[in-house]
Amino acid sequence: MSTLRFHAIKESFTNKPILVEEKERRSDLFGKNVFNENTMRQYFTKDAFVGVMNAIQFGKKIDRNIADQVSSSMKDWALSKGVTHYTHWFQPLTGTTAEKHDAFFETIGNGMAIEKFGGSQLVQQEPDASSFPSGGIRNTFEARGYTAWDPTSPAFIYGTTLCIPTIFVAYTGEALDYKTPLLRALNAVDNAATDVCKYFDKNVKKVTSSLGWEQEYFLIDKLLAASRPDITLTGRTLLGHSSAKGQQLDDHYFGSIPNRALNFMRELETECMLLGIPVKTRHNEVAPNQFELAPIFEEANLAVDHNSLLMDIMGRVASRHNFKVLLHEKPFAGINGSGKHNNWSLSTDTGVNLLSPGKTPMSNLQFLTFFINTIKAVRENEELLRASIASASNDHRLGANEAPPAIMSVFIGEQLTKVLEELEGVTKGKLSPEEKTELKLNVVGKIPDVLLDNTDRNRTSPFAFTGNKFEFRAVGSLANCGNPMTVLNTIVAKQLIDFKKEVDLLIDKKGLKKDEAVFNVLREYIKSTKAILFEGNGYGKAWEDEAKKRGLSNNKTTPEALKAKISKKSIALFEDMNVMSKIESQARYEIEMEAYIMHIQIEGRVLGDIARNHIVPTAVKYQNILIENVKGLKEIFEAKYKTVSQEQIILIEEISGHIEGINANVTKMTDARRKANTIEDLEQKALAYCNNVKPLFDDIRRHCDKLELLVDDEIWPLTKYRELLFTR
C-alpha cells in the first residue's frame, strides 16, 4: 500500500495542465446543444410551437398530434448533430440522475432500417423501477414505473445522446423522484403569490420562483484519490491527521487559481455553455484545493435540472484533467466543508422581483408583504426546513465552525430590523390619514435608500436575506436542490394563502382599506416571528441556549431532523397544497432514513477495513523495526541499553496502546452495527447507527491519526492530508 502511495505522488507530479482552447465567445456557445425556444422556432411547425409554449407557460396539455410533430423535429435536430440515441433523463430518489439509452433505430423488414422517434416515445417510457428507492410504495418485484416528459425543461444533447428531462412516477401514480413534487410546489407558489400580487398590480398573471445555486467542491489529483480506499468508497477521508498548514493563513481564498484547476474550469464552463447552464462565477474557496462555481439565476425547476446535470458533468470533465471532484460536505476534517447555497426569490411576469424594493411606497409595501411572509413561513416550519437538508454527509458540516448551525434562523440585517420594529408599532385597526401618510413615507418609502447597501451577510445564518433574495446557506454540496426548493416554495405558498385570507377578512368584515388590512396583518406577523430572527454569531453553546429559550428546534442529526417530514402538520401541509400525498411523504421519510443507515454502515465497514488491514499491520511493522533497534542497542550497550533505548521503548508502548485502541473500538463498532441491524423499526435502527455506531468512528480515527505521527513516513500506507490538499 505504501508503494501505491508514493507511486501516486510521483505520478501526480507529472500531470501537467491540459490546454483548453476557447475559440468561440461564451454567448455564441450558449445553448448550442439545447432544444430551446430558438431551436424550436427553427424546427417546429406553428401549431407545434404554440402547443409547447402553452405547456411551458400555462401548463396546458400537449395533444398526441403535437407530440408526434415535436418528436419528429427533435429527432431531425439531434441527428443533424450526430446523435445516435435518446434517453429519458430523470432524478430518482438516489440523489443522482438516471438514464436508459435507446437508439433512433428500427428495422422495417427486408434487411432495411430507419431512424425513428415517435410522440409516444417522447412523452412516456417505462423503465425498470425495481431497484430505485420507493419507500414501500411498491414491492421490489413490481418493476413498473413511468417517466413522463417535462416540457418546461428543454431537451439537450450530451455526447451522442438526446436527453429528455422527465418526471418519474410509480405505476400507481406516486412520485418517485425530486422533480414531480417540485413542479407541484412551484405551481402552488405561483397561484398563491399571483393572488397576493393582485393587491398591488392587477396585471400580474404569473409568479415564477427563481433559484441561483452556488456549488462548492474540492479538486483532488485522481491518482492520489485512488490511493485512498475511503475517498473511493465514501467520498470523504475517514481518517488522516491534519496538515501542519491548512487554511489558517487564508491564502487560498480568492487567490490565483492553479493552472490545472483553471483549465478544468475552462472546459467545464464550455460544456456548461453548450448545455445552456449559465455559469458565471468561479473562484478559490477557503480550504486548500476547494473551489466554487455559480450561475446566473434561473427558473427554479430548470436551475435544479442544471445543477443535477452539472454534478455529473463535473466528474467526467475532472477525470479528463486527472482530477477527482469531491462533492461530499466534509471530505476533510479540520478545514472548511462544502455547501450549495440556494439563493431564492419570486418574480412576476411583469418583470418585478418581489423580494427587491421599488421606488414607490406601494412597491415597497409589496416587497414587505413577501419579505415578511417568507420569514413567517420559515418561523412556522423551521423543523421541516431543517429536515429538507438533512443527510449523513451534511451532518458533518452543519454546526462546524465554517457552516450554519442545525438551528434554523433568519438574518435580515440591522436596517431591515429597524424597519420591522417601526412597522410593529402600527395602530391596530383603521389608520388616521396622517398616520398612513407618515407610515408610508417614513417607513416603507425609505427602504430603497438603505436596503441594498446596508444588508450585510452573515456566514453563520442558515437563511439570510441578501439584498433582493433569501440565501438558504444550509443546503449541502451533494444535495439535489429539488428537496429544499420543494419545501421552501410549499411553505411560502401556504403562508401567502393564509395571509390573503386574513387580509380579505379584515377588508370584508372590519371595513378596513386594503393598505390598512395589509399593515395590520404584517404587524402581527412581525410580532410572531421575532424568535426566528437572529443577527449574531451562530457558533457555539451561547446561541444554542438562546435558541432553546426562543423555542427553536436544534435537530443536530439526520434521524432527529427527518421526523419533521412525517409529522401531522407536515403531511397535512403537503396534502393541502397538492404537493405530496401522505404515502409520498412517508415514502420519502423511509428512503432518506434508509439512506442514512446505509451511509453509516458503509463508512463503518470501510473504516474497520482500513484500520485493521492497513493501519494496524503498518504500525506492527514499524514496531518490529523499533524492537530490532532495541535488541541491537542491547547487544552493543548491554546493561546500559535501557538508558539509550528509552525513547524507542516508550514509542513501542505507545504504538501498542494505539493498536489495542483500534482493535477494541473496531470490535465495539462491529458489534454495535450487528446489533443495530437486528432492529426492525426504521427510526430506532437509524438512531442506533447514529448514537451507537457512528461515535466509535471518532475513537478509531483518533488512534489511527496518532499512529500517523508516530510511524515512519516511508511506510505509512495512506496518502496524507498535506499531499491530498497541496498537490496542484
Q: Give pairs for 222-225: CB < 8 Å, separation 24+.
A: 222/318, 222/319, 222/322, 222/323, 222/324, 223/8, 223/11, 223/12, 223/15, 223/322, 224/8, 224/9, 224/12, 224/719, 224/723, 224/724, 224/727, 225/324, 225/326, 225/724
Distance CA 412, CA 464 (A): 6
- Per-residue DSSP letters for 363-427? HHHHHHHHHHHHHHHHHHTHHHHHHTT--TTGGGTTTSTTS--SS--EE--HHHHHHHHHHHTPP
Nearby residues of 23 by Cβ (< 8 Å), 6 or more positions away: none
Is the confidence at residue 203, as pLDDT, over 70?
Answer: yes
Helices (H), 155-213: 179-197
Residue 451: per-residue pLDDT:
56
Distance CA 303, CA 189 (A): 17
**Residue 142's pLDDT band (boundaries 50, 70, 90)?**
low
Q: For 388-409, write each residue's pLDDT tens digit.
A: 999 999 999 997 766 788 999 9
Distance CA 322, CA 108 (A): 45
Range in 34-43, 381-390, 418-427 the model is least confident about: 418-427
Is the confidence at residue 541, as pLDDT, over 80?
Answer: yes
Helices (H), 406-481: 414-424, 433-439, 447-454
Q: For 697-718, write each residue's pLDDT tens digit.
A: 999 999 999 999 999 999 999 9
Q: For 543-588, write each residue's pLDDT tens digit.
A: 899 999 999 999 999 999 999 999 999 999 999 999 999 999 999 9
**Residue 56's pLDDT band (boundaries 50, 70, 90)?**
confident
DSSP code at position 360: S
Distance CA 450, CA 356 (A): 12
Element (H, E) at 461: none
Under DSSP, is residue 295 helix (H, G, I), strand (E, B) or coil? Answer: strand
Is the confidence at residue 135, as pLDDT, over 90?
Answer: no
CA dihedral 308, 309, 311, 315 (to 10 degrees): 150
Residue in the structure block whose three cell numbers are 423551521 = 382
Residue 454: per-residue pLDDT:
47
**Residue 12's pLDDT band (boundaries 50, 70, 90)?**
confident
Is the confidence at residue 453, as pLDDT, over 50?
Answer: no
**Residue 254's pLDDT band (boundaries 50, 70, 90)?**
confident
Distance CA 516, CA 512 (A): 6
Question: Which pairing describes strands 340-348 and 470-472: parallel, antiparallel, or unpaired?
Answer: antiparallel
Q: For 629-663, write each residue's pLDDT tens digit.
A: 988 888 888 888 888 888 889 999 999 999 999 99
The secondary structure of the chain in percent helix, strand, coil, rounded to multiples of 5, reads: 55, 15, 35
Query: Rounded to 5 degrees, what angle do the CA atoms 115, 119, 123 make?
Result: 120
Range in 4-8, 80-84, 296-300, 684-688 the model is least confident about: 4-8
**Rounded mean pLDDT, 601-620:** 97
Residue 139: per-residue pLDDT:
56
Is the confidence at residue 525, as pLDDT, over 70?
Answer: yes
Q: How many residues does the chain have?
A: 728
Under DSSP, is residue 281 helix (H, G, I), strand (E, B) or coil? Answer: strand
Is the confidence at residue 384, as pLDDT, over 60?
Answer: yes
Contact 708, 716 (CB under 8 A): yes
Please give the model's pTM, rounded to 2 decimal places.
Answer: 0.94
Residues facing residue 89 across a β-bridge:
165
Residues facing residue 102 across a β-bridge:
86
Is the confidence at residue 130, as pLDDT, over 80?
Answer: no
Residue 138: per-residue pLDDT:
59
Q: State the average pLDDT for the chain.
A: 91
Is the confidence at residue 243, as pLDDT, over 50?
Answer: yes
**Rounded mean pLDDT, 366-390:** 97
**Rounded mean pLDDT, 617-630:** 94
**Rounded mean pLDDT, 82-100:** 91
Residue 128: per-residue pLDDT:
63
Is the confidence at residue 373, as pLDDT, over 90?
Answer: yes
End-to-end C-alpha distance for the chain, whole angstroms: 22
**Rounded mean pLDDT, 131-158:** 78
